Amino acid sequence: MTDLLGKDDYGRIAATLALPDFCFIDGRKQAAQSGRSFASTNPANGSVIANLPACDGADVDLAVAAARTAFEDGRWSRLHPAERKAALLRLADLIEQNLNELAVMESLDSGKTILDCVTVDLPETVKCLRWHAELIDKIYDQVSPASDSHIALIVREAVGVVGLVLPWNFPLLMLAWKIGPALAAGCTLVVKPAEETSLTALRVAELALEAGIPAGVLNVVTGSGPEVGEPIGRHPGIDALSFTGSTETGRLFLKFSAESNLKEVTLEMGGKNPCIVMEDAEDLDAVAEHVVNGAYWNMGENCSAISRLIVHRDIRDALVERLVAALADWPVGDPLDPASRIGPLVSAEHFGKVASYLDGGKVLHGGATSADRFVHPTILEVAGNDARPACEEIFGPVLSIITVDSLDEAVAIANDTGYGLTASVFTANGKRALRTARALRAGTVTVNSFGEGDSTTPFGGFKQSGFGGRDNGIHAHDQYTQLKTIWLDLN
């Protein structure tokens, strides 16, 4: 694990950091065709830190053309798997060598704490790329059950040119979750980072070229959802699309696909994730640590954040007391101070949205600071699962508490949502834990802990949290490959 530096060290890196001011198409740093640009701001103080090309459909066309040429001429897709593996490993190494600079860039751009950037986002990004790189030369194709007169090969081929549309909450890590398996599979890419947080994707594109990933393979087009995301979604030259973001925007990509070339679409979307704590849960102090981490890390700007705590009446008061105690270790402050565990929300607009939920219940702890974009970790007692904070995705550090009298009631409430991304259950009874894990309608369920799995486990949602494939694990490769049957008649 990387050692943390001091606040002044990060300040010095921030002061000397060269921030990107380009989009990256066909291996070249470019301005938008239109010449327009937009300002990227630091959420901690609202200052403008970079001006980036405000691209549109014309730039998307260029990026798709570059990606198409790179795919068809095989400069990446037809490399020997060992060569693709070596290049991806070099990219992971370069990111690791530039870890502090990338961590500071990410923090400045998104408001994420330097603590999380250095200890979670960057190491997980490197790990993810290495994991998929290592997989490239270990995946075998299949041969079907054969008669004497035929052999049928079932082979996986790269799907082609892929559009990746990314969110602002984990700019680097979500990039890695998608480019890792997509590049491993041999695809070429047109990436659209979120407008708020485009800087690290641009730096990674530069590093990819340095690592030997050929020009045209990884293109990054900056700009807004309607001006860049939609042209990607509708582009006839894009074969598959992988999106992470809100359910509302995810739906649009299905429409774009249906109205264009029926590109394959994978959607990883919102959540309203329940955490059930039963009366027999062991060690409430430890439970509280998990719940606090699950609800508040990354400011709750996390699709998998615990946002509904469904707790048995017998232990409700004791658990709330421990949650408040655990929050003493969660200082709110300057994101470049490694002591801060909570930074500002990503934008003034998002602050307004999150703060609007706080009068939907009784604030037991925390609240918003109206003068800036900081929302303190908030515990909200709500009237029930129908209360607005309990049923809408807040995407901020706000935990709604719902009290129940039985496990059946807890599971019914947990499943009473249109989302189904993650869930957790705390109980000392193993059979009860497993039965509950099976009953919860979510893509990832953790038992006596909170987490999102790791590089080896598929991540995605049930119901309106997910559609299509999965990120992470070997299963992520399904998004970026398609099956071909090759039938050989031996007669």
Ligand X SMILES: NC(=O)C1=CN([C@@H]2O[C@H](COP(=O)(O)OP(=O)(O)OC[C@H]3O[C@@H](n4cnc5c(N)ncnc54)[C@H](OP(=O)(O)O)[C@@H]3O)[C@@H](O)[C@H]2O)C=CC1
Q: Which does 117 bind (CB under 5 to 8 A by kind): ligand LOQW3P2E, ligand X, none?
A: none
Nearer to ligand X, 207 or 221 (CB): 221
User: Which secondary-structure segment (H or E) carries 171?
Assistant: helix 171-185
Phi, psi of 433 (to 5 degrees): -60, -45
- Round to whole Å and give the CA distance between 242 and 351: 27
* Residues paired with 218 in a beta bridge: 189
Q: Which does 452 bind (CB under 5 to 8 A by kind): ligand LOQW3P2E, ligand X, none?
A: ligand LOQW3P2E
Q: Which does 376 bind (CB under 5 to 8 A by kind): ligand X, ligand LOQW3P2E, none?
A: none
Closest distance between ligand X and the C-beta of residue 226, in Å?
5
* Residue 318: other Cβ atoms inside 10 A: 14
User: Which secondary-structure segment (H or E) carries 273?
Assistant: strand 273-277
106 catalytic, yes or no?
A: no
Provide the CA 97 distance to its chain's centre, in angstroms: 23
Angle of CA points 409, 412, 415, to nearest 5°: 150
Closest distance between ligand X and the C-beta of residue 342, in Å?
17
Torsion sign over Cα 6, 9, 15, 16: negative
Name the strands in the sheet holding 273-277, side by side, starting at the edge strand that comes first in the sequence: 362-368, 375-381, 398-404, 306-312, 273-277, 422-426, 444-447
Q: Of the listed 106, 196, 227, 268, which one is catalytic?
A: 268
Nearer to ligand LOQW3P2E, 257 or 302 (CB): 302
Closest distance between ligand X and the C-beta of residue 128, in Å?
16
Closest distance between ligand X and the C-beta of residue 235, in Å?
12
112 residue type, one letter: K
- Round to whole Å and give the CA distance between 81 and 84: 5
SS3 375: strand
Provide the CA 139 distance to its chain's centre, in angstroms: 25
Q: In sequence order, which ranges of 315-385 are alpha helices (DSSP H)?
A: 316-326, 348-355
Nearer to ligand X, 252 or 326 (CB): 252
Nearer to ligand LOQW3P2E, 278 or 292 (CB): 292
Closest distance between ligand LOQW3P2E and the C-beta of residue 263, in Å?
21
Closest distance between ligand LOQW3P2E and the C-beta of residue 452, in Å?
4
Task: Tokens for 361, please give them.
Answer: 């219940």
Using Cβ positions, the residue closest to ligand LOQW3P2E within the complex turns out to be 303
Nearer to ligand X, 76 or 297 (CB): 297
Q: Which does 192 bind (CB under 5 to 8 A by kind): ligand X, ligand LOQW3P2E, none?
A: ligand X
Q: Which residues bind ligand LOQW3P2E (CB under 6 A)?
A: 120, 124, 167, 169-170, 173-174, 244, 268, 302-304, 452
Do residues 442 and 453 touch, judged by C-beta distance below 8 A?
Answer: no
Q: Which does 299 bind (CB under 5 to 8 A by kind): ligand LOQW3P2E, ligand X, none?
A: none
Q: Print the SS3 string covering 207-266.
A: HHHHCCCCCCCEEECCCCHHHHHHHHHHCCCCCEEEEECCHHHHHHHHHHHHHCCCCEEE
Closest distance between ligand LOQW3P2E and the C-beta of residue 459, in Å?
7
Q: Which does 482 bind (CB under 5 to 8 A by kind): ligand LOQW3P2E, ligand X, none?
A: none
User: Which secondary-structure segment (H or E) carries 173?
Assistant: helix 171-185
Q: Which residues bind ligand X (CB under 6 A)?
A: 165-169, 192, 194-195, 224-226, 229-230, 233, 244-246, 249, 252, 269-270, 303, 350, 353, 393, 395
Nearer to ligand X, 99 or 194 (CB): 194
Q: Which does 124 bind (CB under 5 to 8 A by kind): ligand X, ligand LOQW3P2E, none?
A: ligand LOQW3P2E
Please give the positions annotated as active site. Answer: 268
